[in-house]
Amino acid sequence: MPDDELLGGRKHHDVARRELLKSAAAFGLTITMAKPLAAWGAVEAHSARSGQTLAYVGTYSSSLDSGAGNGKGIYLFEVNDATGELTPLGLAAELRNASWIEFDRSRRFLYALSEVADFGRGTGSVSAFAVDRPTGKLQLLNTVSSEGIGPAHLSLDATGKYLFVANYVGGNAAVLPIHADGTLGSATDVHQDEGSLGSKAAARAPDGSFAISGHDKTHAHMIQPDPSNRFVLQTDLAQDRIYVWRFDPVNGKLEPSSANPFVTLPSGDGPRHFAFHPNGHWMYSLQEEASTIVFFHFDPSTGRLVTQQTLSTLPRGFKGTTFTSEILISKDGRFIYAANRLHDTIAIFSIAGDGRLTYITETSTLGDYPRYIGMHPDGRFLYATNQRSDAITAFNVDKQTGLLRFTGRYTAVGSPACIVFLR
């Protein structure tokens, strides 16, 4: 996450993630809404058709990276599976800075971060919601501490018994138990990232880049189990590390992998998010400041990561500043998509039989600052949440070529951060 830096006499980013959390403590109940959302009420009575797809969008309610903080929580949409259009149904849950949301495998529960610094004893929080499938309504079950300031990412283990959370500002990761009724318990494990920090500027950044981010202290950015559920991987942007933890699913504990407790990327490159290929043996890491994808071989028996390839997410000849945000892999494992903020594009790569990538092209998101890209359950549409321009744009996906084509449909939503789907 880019820091607040003065570049050439002007602020490159109005409010950094750290500053967002300072303001969040004083945020109280005052929320400024963008006009398209001002009239939105709670989700009204809505009966889902058989096989209908719903979408939930998490939003920011405090200013971040020049976004105005126009959201109010988690919004619900009906998805037209033929056209990709999103029809707003209302505010499903009011929640401050709901920057990451995730379903459990049963799709009966939704878990959401609140990226703040003032919960309980001064941390962020994670909330559990029950999902009413006929209407899509969310019922709050409980809220617990994330055990660190400014949580940025969460995921669940394959059994649905534990939730992992990465606290960006706190620089730590926590494991939260999930009870049978979907509620969350107090952390069973907390790990503080420690050790050396990377350089302020990325070693592999494009020429002319001022993509300087949080290398001031440790910043855990993402945490997720591998497909075998034996290991949990976690990035620390400031340390330029990807940690590999061996997961104990009985006691909810993380222990350093004996094969390699972490791998280190080039100094300052800032590993942000990663994605596993469906085969469980290939892993792709996205670097925020360097705007690169690194392809690793992953050994699911030992947790060992071995670097194979590094590519830029930007077109040949690009110069200047940009920050990557999200990476996803098509369900058939043939293509990778990576979002570039400031450049405001989605880079498209093909995946060869040995896992190596080839850059195909990029597509404009037709919006400002795509924080997240998400795929429709059928893989027919890709959605970009354009944080600064308060809109989601939808694209048709050509499953044969991987190329994207704008559907012509924008969806207004204030400061969108992420989108997930329910069918």
Q: Domain coordinates of the chain in residue numbers?
A: 1-179, 193-364
List CB contacts of 109: < 8 A, sequence separation 6 or more.
Answer: 103, 128, 129, 130, 131, 141, 178, 182
Residue 264 tokens read as 């280190």
Superfamily (CATH H level) for 193-364: YVTN repeat-like/Quinoprotein amine dehydrogenase (2.130.10.10)
Helices (H) and strands (E) in the chain, counts: 2, 31
- The two domains 1-179 and 193-364 share their CATH topology (first three levels equal): yes
pLDDT-flagged residues of the chain (< 70): 1-40, 44-50, 213
Dihedral of CA atoms 284, 285, 287, 288 in degrees, nearest 10, equals 100
Q: What is the pLDDT of residue 48?
A: 54
Q: What angle do CA 154, 60, 188 make, to 5 degrees?
A: 25
pTM over 0.75: yes
Q: What is the pLDDT of residue 156?
A: 98
Amino acid letter, 42 = A
Q: What is the pLDDT of residue 66?
A: 75
H or E stretch covering 312: strand 305-312
Cβ(112)–Cβ(129) below 8 Å: yes
**CA gap 320, 211 in Å, rounded:** 9
Smallest CA-to-CA distance from 292 within 319, 327, 258 is with: 327
3-state secondary structure (DSSP) of residue 357: strand
Q: What is the pLDDT of residue 7?
A: 26
Superfamily (CATH H level) for 1-179: YVTN repeat-like/Quinoprotein amine dehydrogenase (2.130.10.10)
Cβ(230)–Cβ(27) below 8 Å: no
**CA gap 266, 408 in Å, rounded:** 39
Q: What is the pLDDT of residue 98?
A: 98
Q: What is the pLDDT of residue 6?
A: 24
Q: What is the pLDDT of residues 69-124, one digit of tens each?
A: 999 999 999 999 999 999 999 999 999 999 999 999 999 999 999 999 999 999 99
Residue 270 tokens read as 């800032």
